[in-house]
Structure 1
Amino acid sequence: MTPDQSPLGKASAYADHYDAGLLYPLPRSTKREEVGITGRLPFMGADLWTAYELSWLNPRGKPQVAIAQFIVPCESTHIVESKSFKLYLNSFNNTVVASAEEVQTRLRDDLSEAIWRGGPVQARVGVHLVMPDAFDAQPIHELDGLLLDRLDAECSQYEPDPSLLTSATDEQPVTETLVSHLLKSNCLVTGQPDWGSVQISYTGPQIDQEGLLQYIVSFRNHNEFHEQCVERIYMDVLRQCQPTKLSVYARYTRRGGLDINPWRSSHPRQPPPNVRGARQ
C-alpha cells in the first residue's frame, strides 16, 4: 500500500454503516529508511489522535456523540492514513451499537489490526471515549517550555535543513524544553498545509536556539505526514546536537475532525497528556 493509492485527494463516497475495511494502513518503514532508521527503533513513543466527529445510534435509534482519544504505539508496523480513518469513523453514523463500550471495543480491535497489518498484534491501540457529560471538563493548554518564537530570526530555508542545528559541545550540558508554534508542513499526497506546535525537551550540549527555530521553520514547504515530520526532527536533532536525552512532541491542528500529535522519546516515560492547544 502506498499513499497515492489511499483515499487522499480523491472523491469519496461516505459510508454511513459500519465498515472496518475502510481503514487504509501505510507502512512506517519507507519513510523511516529515508532518515536512517532501520532495525531497532532509536526512540519510544506514540501517536496521540483525537476524533471530534464520532457518532452512532443507540438501540432506540437515537444518535449518540463522543470525542475519541487514541494512543497508537510508534512500534507498530503501520500508520492509518487520516482520510481513511475519518471515512471509517463516519461509517458508525447510522450504525446501531448497543453501548459506548461496544463502540470503544470495535475501535480498539479494528485499529489494532490495521496498525499491525499482516502481522500479529504486539501492542494494541489505546482508546478512550469522552462522553458529552464530560465535554466541559476538557482543558485547553499550550505546550510548556521556553518559546523560541520570541527570537527575531532571519528565515530563508523552507525545506528541512539539518545544517541549521548546532550545539555547544565544548560547554557544560543543560536540560531545557523549547517550544515553537511556527511548525508547518504539507500533506504528502495533497499538499494541503498542516499547522502545528512543537516541543523539544533534551539534556546535553546547549542547542543554539536561533538555529533550532530556523530549522523548525524550514519544514514550511516540506511534504510529509505528521508522524514522519516528528521522526525527522528527532533524528536530525539527535545527530546534529548529540543530546543524551531527547523528546520531540508535536500537536497539529485538526483537519476533518481529527488531530494527530506524534511524540518520540529517547527514554521511557508516560506519554504526554492529550490536551489540545488553543488552535486545535
Structure 2
Amino acid sequence: MASYAFAATLTMTLDLQHAPLGQTVGYPSQYDPALLFPIARAGARGELGLPADAPLPFAGVDLWNAYEVSWLNARGKPEVALARCVVPAESPNLIESKSFKLYLNSYNQTRMADADTVRARIAADLSAAAGAPVAVELILPAAYGELTLGEPEGECVDGLDVEIDQYAPSAELLAVDAARGVVRETLLSRLLKSNCPVTGQPDWATVQVSYEGPAIDRESLLRYVVGFRQHSGFHEQCVERMFLDILARCQPTSLSVYARYTRRGGLDINPWRGTADHLPPADLRTPQQ
C-alpha cells in the first residue's frame, strides 16, 4: 500500500508540473478544447489508501458553476450565460480549474450558432477530459431573476467555544459522543479553509455533514474541520478525505459530506460524496459564493 501511495503521489506531482495553474499563460482568442487539463484522481486517492482498481466507497459529484461564459452569435454580437456542470466522482479525471477558465475564455471571440450549440460543445469537451459523461446546463440572462441564495441545512458547530492548536488534518481529531447514542442529524461549519496545492492560495468553504449512526462529538468535528486550515489539496480531494475519515472514525451507517467553496477565477467547485442511500444535493449558491 505504501509503495502504491508513493507512486500515485509522484504521478500527480508530475501531472501538476504541466498544468497551467500557477503559470503565466496567454488568454486564447479562439475556441480550443486542448486547453482543458485533466488530472488523474488516482493520485490523491492512492494517498488515501484507495487502490485504482477497487470500487469507490462513495457516490459523488463535483458541481461546477461558471459565471463568466460568453461567445459571439452568428452575427458577431456577444452573448453571455452562466454554466452549471456536473462531473461524476467516478470519472477517472478531475479538470484543473485554471485550464477550465482558459477553455471557457476561448469562446469569447468564437462565433457559435446558438446557446444550445455552446452547451453541447462544452458538455462533449468536458466529458472527453474527465473520461466520463459530464452534464452541462446553460442559464441565460432571462432566467437570472429566478436564481436565489441559500444556506445548506444543518446545525452550525462554529459557535462552540473550543481551544484549537492543530491546523493539519487528522482523523484522530474525530470522536463520537457515546452519551447521545445513535442519531440522525446534519451539522454545518463555515470555517473550512484549505489551500491550493500549486499556488498556495487559500480556498474557503462551507461544509455540511449529514449522517446516521453514533453521534459525532461536535467539538471534535469543529477541530477536525479547522484542521484543514494549513492543508494543501484540491477541493475534491479534501472532501474525499473528510468522507473517509468520518466513515472510519465515527462509523456512521449513512453519510454525506458536501462542501461549497467560494468562487475563484469566475468558477466555484462544490464536491459532494455520500453513501449509496444519499442523492446529490441541490446546487444552491451560498452568500459567501
Question: One fold, TM greater than 0.5?
Answer: yes
Q: Could you tell me which amino acid in structure 2 is paired with residue 130 of structure 1?
A: I
Q: CA deviation at 1:169?
A: 5.2
In 2, distance between residues paired with 1:102 and 1:266? 35
Aligned to 2:273: 264
Aligned to 1:77: 92
Matched position secondary structure for 1:250: strand
In the TM superposition, what whole-angstrom CA distance separates every residue of 1:17-64 from its partner, at most 9, and x where no partner exists?
100000000000010011112211000010000000000000011100
- 1:252 pairs, out of 243, 261, 283, with 261
In the TM superposition, what whole-angstrom CA distance separates every residue of 1:199-238 from its partner, at most 9, and x where no partner exists?
0000000000001000000100000000000000001101
Paired residues, what number? 274
2:42 aligned with 1:33: no
- 1:14 pairs, out of 4, 8, 27, with 27
- 2:60 pairs, out of 30, 36, 45, with 45
Q: CA deviation at 1:189?
A: 0.6
In 2, distance between residues paired with 1:202 and 1:4? 38
2:122 aligned with 1:107: yes
Q: Could you tell me which amino acid in structure 1 is paired with residue 97 of structure 2?
A: S
Kept in 2, the 8 Å contact 1:44–1:264? The answer is: yes
Shift in CA distance, 216/34, structure 1 to aligned 2, threshold 3 Å: same
Aligned to 1:150: 159
In 1, distance between residues paired with 2:236 and 2:84? 17
Q: Could you tell me which amino acid in structure 2 is paired with residue 166 of structure 1?
A: A
Q: Could you tell me which amino acid in structure 2 is paired with residue 182 of structure 1?
A: L
Q: CA deviation at 1:168?
A: 3.4
Unpaired runs of 5+ residues, structure 2, are: 1-13
Matched position secondary structure for 1:68: strand
Aligned to 1:120: none
Shift in CA distance, 13/270, structure 1 to aligned 2, threshold 3 Å: same
Q: CA deviation at 1:162?
A: 1.1
2:185 aligned with 1:176: yes
Of residues 2-11 and 245-254 in structure 1, the stretch that sits farther from structure 2 once superposed is 2-11
2:208 aligned with 1:199: yes
In the TM superposition, what whole-angstrom CA distance separates every residue of 1:99-151 from its partner, at most 9, and x where no partner exists?
100000001100000011xxxxxx41010111001111111001110001111
Unpaired runs of 5+ residues, structure 1, are: 117-122
